Amino acid sequence: MKRFRYLWMMLLPMLAVSCVDDDDDVAGADDITVSFNNQWPEGVAEEAITSAEITFRELNSGQTVTLNPIGSDLGSLPLGVYDYDGTVKLSCPAGDEAGSTIDKTLRVSGSSLTVSSPVAIRLEWFYSNPGGTLVFSEIYAAGSPNATATGGLRDSYFRIYNNTSETIYADGLGIVESTFVNSRTNAFEILTPANDRQVNFTVGTVWVIPGSGTDVPILPGQSIKIADQAIDWGAQVAGALDHTDADFEWYDDNAMDTDNPSVPNLEKWYCYSNTIWIMSNQCNRSYALVRFPEGTSAESYLADWHGAFDYISIIGTQMTNNNAYLIPNSWIVDGVNLGNSESYVYGALGNSVDISFASISDIDKDANRFGRVFRRKTATVDADGVALLQDTNDSAADFERVNVR
């Protein structure tokens, strides 16, 4: 019976072709009516859609048909077995900028869809960033609780994930932290045009992955871990994280820091701290992955992109010549605003990079933030089991906070 059914499905496309009228103006007699049951991610409104199409490829003949999955009009397909891939473009409000919008993309895909009678095709759409490459998959900023649960340990880390189907080399990739804090207590007025967040990202730390260009490959669906100190913190506090497996660590040449000689150090191009750099313990700064233009060195970057700024403080005092550096938004591969729901006003990153923020807590200075990691959601998993992570430049939608302690 299985052999007969398979033979019948192989014959379907040939039967369809043999029955099609030679007149191009007449639809094929064996075309099958199809409709679409669109399942949108939460918050998507059809009126925000600017374009939509889905392409079906018949597996035996290779014939392709492109249809519009939106609206009440029905489409049709010849008898056959199809793979399909669809794209929807959205124009969405851009965060806190009144009247401004940002483009987003949805995708859908499926395989081995049999079309032999009228069918309503269920389409599970997911967000996709067509330009996505390397992304933050995890950010552990607050650290694990210390022995007395009064603060956090320095077992913080980043995990950087290859969100494509090609090997990507992380050599020369920058990891940077914002100068500005994403909190109402720091919502001062910036006076220097170059520090406009919609143009440049103002940063206080610049760390860079070493390598000659092909030394740090990341395979599709794989990641690297970058830790503050690549030691086993569980030896000090039960349940803390073990980072002896880290791919890199950031190390300040200071007696307050610990270097694991078995784990390579990041290159430090700049840091505002004269002692050691610790990630934002309150999880209220922004982070980005950066691709510098070819040929950029630490010396040339620091010479060309100094971003000292003037501002008016929250109490009305004008402050001048505050030290920082600039990262043009066009250099940013991925970026994430962090904050808490109680005190967040706007992020240090421009809306083209992140229109919202990932929240560590609903309240400011929540002691329960320790032991929580920001983890990027999975959009879909391909046939080989490789996860495509959600990357919509909207961290509130893209990340979830997970307790690892």
Task: Look at residue 355 in the predicted model and tell me its pLDDT.
Answer: 84
Task: Look at residue 351 in the predicted model and tell me its pLDDT.
Answer: 83
Question: In the predicted model, what is the mean pLDDT of residues 376-405?
Answer: 89
How far apart CA 157 and CA 348 sit, in angstroms, is 20
Does residue 372 have a pLDDT over 70?
Answer: yes
- Decide: 383 and 111 in contact? Cβ < 8 Å: yes
Does residue 131 have a pLDDT over 80?
Answer: no
pLDDT tens profile 133-192:
899 999 999 999 999 888 899 999 999 999 998 999 999 999 999 999 998 766 678 899
Task: Look at residue 15 in the predicted model and tell me its pLDDT.
Answer: 38
- Decide: 277 and 285 in contact? Cβ < 8 Å: no
Q: Which of 117-131, 150-164, 352-366, 382-396 has the highest mean pLDDT?
A: 150-164
- Decide: 67 and 56 in contact? Cβ < 8 Å: yes
Q: Can you give the residue ranges of every domain in the chain?
A: 2-128, 134-403
- Decide: 109 and 85 in contact? Cβ < 8 Å: yes
Task: Look at residue 17 in the predicted model and tell me its pLDDT.
Answer: 39
At 55, give phi and psi (nearest 5°).
Answer: -105, 125
Does residue 86 have a pLDDT over 60?
Answer: yes
Q: Name the strand (E) or helix (H) holding 224.
A: strand 223-227
Taking the chain, what is the end-to-end CA distance rounded to the nearest angstrom? Answer: 54
pLDDT tens profile 297-319:
999 999 999 999 998 887 888 98
CB neighbours of 159 closer than 8 A, spacing ≥ 6? 136, 137, 138, 139, 223, 224, 225, 226
Give the burial string for 65-98 (b: 16+ CB within 10 Å, else e): bebebeeeeebebbbbbbebebbbebebebbeee
pLDDT tens profile 1-47:
444 333 334 444 443 433 333 333 333 457 999 999 999 887 788 88
Instruction: For tokens 């009126």, name the residue.
Output: 47
Q: Rounded to the nearest 5 degrees, what angle is found at the Cα of 287, between the Cα atoms of 281 and 293? A: 150
> Helix, strand, coil shares of the chain as percentages rounded to 5?
10, 40, 50
How far apart CA 177 and CA 196 sit, in angstroms, is 16
| % of the chain at pLDDT higher than 90 | 64
* 237 token code pair: 């506090």
Task: Look at residue 2 in the predicted model and tell me its pLDDT.
Answer: 41
Quick one: which of 169, 164, 97 has its CA closest to 135? 164
pLDDT tens profile 252-290:
999 999 999 999 999 999 999 999 999 998 999 999 999
Question: In the predicted model, what is the mean pLDDT of residues 347-369?
Answer: 89
- Decide: 77 and 118 in contact? Cβ < 8 Å: no
> What's the whole-number average pLDDT of the chain?
87
**Top CATH class, 2-128:** mainly beta
Task: Look at residue 141 in the predicted model and tell me its pLDDT.
Answer: 96
Task: Look at residue 204 in the predicted model and tell me its pLDDT.
Answer: 97
Task: Look at residue 102 in the predicted model and tell me its pLDDT.
Answer: 74
How far apart CA 340 and CA 361 sit, in angstroms, is 5
How far apart CA 297 and CA 307 sit, in angstroms, is 17
Task: Work out the pLDDT band at 130, boundaries 50, 70, 90.
Answer: low
Look at strands 173-178 and 200-208 and give their pairing: antiparallel
Give the burial string for 4-36 (b: 16+ CB within 10 Å, else e): eeeeebeebbeebeeeeeeeeeeeeebbbebeb
Task: Look at residue 244 in the predicted model and tell me its pLDDT.
Answer: 97
pLDDT tens profile 226-248:
999 999 999 999 999 999 999 99
* 350 token code pair: 């421009």
| % of the chain at pLDDT higher than 70 | 89
- Decide: 292 and 213 in contact? Cβ < 8 Å: no
Task: Work out the pLDDT band at 99, boundaries 50, 70, 90.
Answer: low
How far apart CA 31 and CA 34 sit, in angstroms, is 9
Task: Look at residue 358 in the predicted model and tell me its pLDDT.
Answer: 96
DSSP state of 239: T
Q: Name the strand (E) or helix (H) holding 4.
A: helix 2-19
CB neighbours of 336 closer than 8 A, spacing ≥ 6? 136, 139, 286, 287, 288, 349, 354, 357, 358, 374, 395, 399
pLDDT tens profile 330-342:
999 999 999 999 8
Structure-model confidence comparison of residues 97 and 132, the more confident one: 132
pLDDT tens profile 319-328:
899 999 999 9
pTM, to two decimals: 0.77
Task: Look at residue 126 in the predicted model and tell me its pLDDT.
Answer: 80
How far apart CA 262 and CA 257 sit, in angstroms, is 15
Task: Look at residue 66 in the predicted model and tell me its pLDDT.
Answer: 96
Task: Look at residue 25 in the predicted model and tell me its pLDDT.
Answer: 33
